[in-house]
Amino acid sequence: MGIVFLHGSAEVIEERLALRTDHFAAADLLPSQLGDLQPPTVEEGAFCQIDITPDMQTVVSKAEDFVRQLVAGAGRSRDADAPVTMQRQS
């Protein structure tokens, strides 16, 4: 299993929330949500961090690349080299 962790500045997230007129979460919840957010750690297994600032296609492409790497390494035994355990992508 792998984790795709999307991150961005509070300003970018707030701008995008403002564009969602019927979203259940109001923008005023953002500071507390970001305050509680815990990025994944190496102990949790394979993950990548992707900055959401670029356009959506760039973000999706980076996530797909990471998933492809995980799938390619899925056939390895526990004794073999593990797939990438951490990959940071901005």
Task: Specify the range with the lowest mean pLDDT, choosing from 11-15, 24-28, 37-41, 77-81.
Answer: 77-81
User: What sign has the CA pseudo-torsion 11, 15, 18, 20?
Assistant: negative
Taking the C-alpha atoms of residue 72 and residue 44, their distance in angstroms, rounded to an integer, is: 19
Residues 42-77: tens digit of each pLDDT: 888 889 999 999 999 999 999 999 999 999 887 554
Q: What separation in angstroms does the CA of 64 have from each of 53, 71, 84?
A: 17, 10, 14
Question: How many domains would you assign to the chain?
Answer: 1
Q: Which residue range forms the structural domain that includes residue 41?
A: 2-89
Provide the b/e sequence for 17-31 (b: ≥16 CB within 10 Å): eeeeeeeeeeeeeee
